Structure 1
Amino acid sequence: MAQSPLRALVNILSNAVDGIEGVYEKNGATFPNLDAPYTPSPLEHDPQVMGLTAVLLGAAFQLMMTVGTPIENITTTYTCQMYMTASLRYVVETSIADVLKEGDPKGVHVDEIAQKINAKDPALIARVLRYMASRHCFREVSPNVFAHNKLSSVLVKTKSFAEIQADPLSQYDGMTASAVVGHTSDEGFKSASHLSEWLQDPTSAPHAFGAAFGVPDMWQWFEQPGNELRRRRFATVMKAIGAGGYPDRIFTEAIDWKALPESATVVDVGGNTGSVSLAIAKAHPHLNLVVQDLPQVIDSLTKPFWSENSPEYVSNGKIKFQPHDFFTPNPTKNVDVFFMRMILHDWSKEKSVEILTHLRAAAQPSTKLVVFDHIILHACPDPLMPPENVPNAPWPMLANLGYGIGGITTVFDIHMLNLFGGQERTVAEFTELGKLTGWKLEKAIPGPTGTIVYSAV
């Protein structure tokens, strides 16, 4: 009898677990316990572990969808996800995660939590935390007593609870998940409630965010009175993105940097802090790098970042900072490589064409353009993707591994659509952008963030 999809998924899960545990055992480590607070491990970025994790996540979610009834999956698992978002916003804005961190590690009763955050009804706190604990964020260690676990511990802010109370405006300073959760569950969530209406009439506003708040873009909204905390929180989100979270090898091995001459100029377009430039500079110190961004970004983020992390590159002239708006002609000429990280996904096709056209006008015939952006993989086989650049999806899994890869990149895609009218792109869409702007796609490699390499034509 042929193997059932159910049994095949179970076998995929078993094999993936064997592989992950094998890597950890080989390195003298044990896989982190869900019930313990999160401690970063370098093995998280091990290529084998990352690949197996994507398969495991995709198979586990597909198994859940296979076993659960359609009504339950649609109405409870999907439609009601909004309550997890709302609950996350509540525990972040009230700093409940920080109260638990400073309380008894064995658990804190909701009465004590309520007293700390000045809440009137401890029972409401219990209901929210129990909802979250039932989804493996927090632990209910005894009735109405809650403690951190692996997931909830990343909601802790860098400041103490007393410091948060004394200066709420700065509570998201420091790079933690709380800023990302706060931003997404606040302005992102409010915008999403307008997404359906906007999709049905995209001419009604520039994007769902514009429909929700009545503004042309998020940047103008941040400048409105009353949005000071949101503006500062979003700056922290951008710093966190600039600081990484992706393995340096994605950037340092994107092309053959060593083949470039000592005189080579590499321009980081819209570079924010320039953290990717720093990773490239450390791996390939012969390169001359230029970080470009808006004047206020250069002054407030880029220069302080380099002064703190690698002032020697500034003093020896291997790194330069250049105020520049990428919707205007690029002032740097004779460039060997332009690169952009997480830029094009903020913008529509029309705006992305404008950006790439300016870069092509400044390029030499030999110039390369490297784009680091998520690559959307179809949920079915894609004849445009070379076999070596797509995940090995065992039957009966989706071609993009479902939740393991496609589920993540498509979240970013809809989030960009929601906030900016932007998008993550398929290989075909990246190819089209190149054809419209004088760039030929050489290769597109999916990964934690995709690598798209163009040559000038």
Structure 2
Amino acid sequence: MSTPAGTSANSTGTGTGSVQLRPKLSELAATISANAKIVEDYIEAQGLPYPSFASDGPSNFPIPQTPETEGIHEARQALLTASKHIYDLATGPNEYLRWLVWNYNDVSTLDVITAFDIPKIVPIDGDISYAEIGEKCKVPELKIRQVIRLAMVNRIFYEPRHGYVAHTAASRLLREDPLMWNWITYNTDDLFPASLKVVDALKKWPESGETSDTAFALANNSESLFQFLGARPERAKRFGQAMSAFSTGQGYAVEHLVKNYDWGKLPKNATVVDVGGATGFVCVELAKAYPEFKFVVEDKVKAQLELGESTLDPALKPQFSYVEHDFFTEQPVKGADAYLIRWCMHNWSDKYAAIMIKSLVPALKNGSKVIINELALPEPGVLNPWEERRVRTLDMVMMMCLNALEREEGDWKRLFAEADPRFRFEGAKQPPGCLMNIVEATFVDE
């Protein structure tokens, strides 16, 4: 399904050039109206739950992402893009900047709400007074009211009658979804303090690529993120659950890799090595689609491998083996057809990413594929603002916590070239509806 002409780059603000900075309000409004109708008509025709922040509203946007709904999601993205653009334009640069810097208060309200477990205090049905919430939190009513009323601006709780608080769909998620709870509290407890040390880290270690020379370390008594989590099992467990919430979000699903890489070009009985594969959950999905492939799941953390092996479907066990391995050391599985690295290299600076690739080289045969499933950042303004904000924020978090980064396609090409001239870089492909890319290189040793 095609979207109206008003959804082009010139009217939604995607792309580059002066048009992006000088859209007409009326054209943006027309784009919003046209694409809202496309989305709304589909929801109503399919009998899907209507988007709502009412407490009984759907937790996710109700239209599934499938090949059949690709056009509908294009309309949705055009709607989001034009809505953000018209809001910013109507605000104006002065007010926009003035209030942008106050966004830390949004994080602060989430911190208070989760620290005092207010979503559990507010009944799932009905309402409760600020006075009762304050009593249960042992915080004065007026201070609780200050916090919650700011949260309400972000559709977290609402006030059905004066002085009383009830749930919205967003606050209900905080009450009922442990992955969302862990995602929020990981950010408020562990990342937010580090965000205040970015300037100090850049001044102290401007050239460093070490995980110890970071804003996170400055905020945590010189401990790197890995040291910090290693010394605190409960925080490490929460981190793992937070990453599950992040990586299963829209645009990050494993199915994009399974369906959009040409696995069929590998030999029929190919061996695929999942480097840093944790429990092997990616290969489990691949094994269902390619029953003749063999999979070797590698990880440094033995507990992850044991969990993966113990929970593996017995029908898949003949296809799998599990190997304890540090990906900074020489690859032990020689001559495999493909070496898969998913969501590992963005945790490391170029210095260590290069070591990771070089560690594969002694094991590679002519034609071996190295497949990296991570971001390949586009030029500014190519993505719609909603997607671009997510990937640019993630890039910032990588620097703040690990002195690492999300790479552009040119960065990937350079890394392979520097690792070994025998790599033939095949490019970076972004599947439809996916925020991640499939980066591929072939080892040519003839």
Shorter-chain TM range is 0.7 to 0.9
Separation of aligned partners in 2, 1:361 and 1:306 = 27
User: Is the CA contact 1:264–1:288 (under 8 Å) kept in the aligned structure 2?
Assistant: yes
User: Is the CA contact 2:157–2:170 (under 8 Å) kept in the aligned structure 1?
Assistant: yes
Task: State the Cα distance separating 1:42 from its structure 2 match.
Answer: 6.8
Task: State the Cα distance separating 1:277 from its structure 2 match.
Answer: 1.3
Task: State the Cα distance separating 1:284 from its structure 2 match.
Answer: 1.9
Q: 2:407 is matched with which residue?
A: 425
Is 2:67 the counterpart of 1:61? no
> Structure 1 residues 147, 451: CA separation in 2 closer, same or farther (over 3 Å shift)?
farther
Q: Percent identity among equivalent residues?
A: 22
Task: State the Cα distance separating 1:411 from its structure 2 match.
Answer: 0.8
Q: 1:276 is matched with which residue?
A: 282
Q: Deviations over 1:160-216 (max 9, x none)?
A: xxxxxxxxxxxxxxx511111111112111111011222234248621112222325
Is 2:427 the counterpart of 1:443? yes
Q: 2:365 is matched with which residue?
A: 364
Task: State the Cα distance separating 1:331 from its structure 2 match.
Answer: 0.7
Separation of aligned partners in 2, 1:71 and 1:40 = 34
Q: 2:54 is matched with which residue?
A: 35
Matched residue SS, 1:45: coil
User: Is the CA contact 2:305–2:323 (under 8 Å) kept in the aligned structure 1?
Assistant: no
Is 2:140 the counterpart of 1:121? yes
Matched residue SS, 1:54: helix
Note the aligned Cα RMSD (angstroms).
2.5
Q: Deviations over 1:229-273 (max 9, x none)?
A: 423311322444566763343111232223433421111111122
Is 2:323 the counterpart of 1:334? no
User: Is the CA contact 1:242–1:274 (under 8 Å) kept in the aligned structure 2?
Assistant: no
Q: 2:109 is matched with which residue?
A: 87
Structure 1 segments unaligned to the other structure (5+ residues) = 159-174, 380-397
2:191 to 188, 191, 196: 188
Separation of aligned partners in 2, 1:22 and 1:302 = 47
Matched residue SS, 1:89: helix
Q: 2:132 is matched with which residue?
A: 112
Task: State the Cα distance separating 1:309 from its structure 2 match.
Answer: 5.4
2:224 to 174, 196, 217: 217
Separation of aligned partners in 2, 1:416 and 1:49 = 32
Q: 1:405 is matched with which residue?
A: 387
Q: 1:234 is matched with which residue?
A: 239
Residues 247-266 of structure 1 correspond to what in structure 2 (within 5 A)? 247-266=253-272
> Structure 1 residues 293, 243: CA separation in 2 closer, same or farther (over 3 Å shift)?
farther
Q: 1:310 is matched with which residue?
A: 313
Q: Deviations over 1:305-345 (max 9, x none)?
A: 4533523322xx21111111111111111111111221111
> Structure 1 residues 20, 442: CA separation in 2 closer, same or farther (over 3 Å shift)?
farther
Q: 1:392 is matched with which residue?
A: none
User: Is the CA contact 2:297–2:320 (under 8 Å) kept in the aligned structure 1?
Assistant: yes
Is 2:170 the counterpart of 1:151? yes
The code of the aligned residue for 2:89 comes to T
Q: Deviations over 1:395-444 (max 9, x none)?
A: xxx4322x222111101100111111111111111221122123333232
User: Is the CA contact 2:148–2:157 (under 8 Å) kept in the aligned structure 1?
Assistant: yes
Separation of aligned partners in 2, 1:239 and 1:374 = 17
Q: 1:295 is matched with which residue?
A: 301
The code of the aligned residue for 1:303 comes to E
Q: Deviations over 1:36-66 (max 9, x none)?
A: 3444467342344443333322222222111
Q: 1:350 is matched with which residue?
A: 351
Separation of aligned partners in 2, 1:208 and 1:230 = 18
User: Is the CA contact 2:174–2:180 (under 8 Å) kept in the aligned structure 1?
Assistant: yes
User: Is the CA contact 2:247–2:253 (under 8 Å) kept in the aligned structure 1?
Assistant: no
The code of the aligned residue for 2:147 comes to V
- Range with greater deviation from structure 2 (66-75 or 26-35): 26-35
Structure 2 segments unaligned to the other structure (5+ residues) = 1-9, 12-22
Matched residue SS, 1:334: coil
Matched residue SS, 2:360: helix
Q: 2:326 is matched with which residue?
A: 325
Matched residue SS, 1:182: helix
Q: 2:6 is matched with which residue?
A: none
> Structure 1 residues 133, 44: CA separation in 2 closer, same or farther (over 3 Å shift)?
farther
Separation of aligned partners in 1, 2:279 and 2:131 = 43
Separation of aligned partners in 2, 1:243 and 1:99 = 28
The code of the aligned residue for 2:290 comes to H
User: Is the CA contact 2:298–2:305 (under 8 Å) kept in the aligned structure 1?
Assistant: no
- Range with greater deviation from structure 2 (30-39 or 318-327): 30-39
User: Is the CA contact 1:376–1:406 (under 8 Å) kept in the aligned structure 2?
Assistant: no
Q: 1:6 is matched with which residue?
A: 25
Normalised by the size of structure 2, how large is the TM-score?
A: 0.84
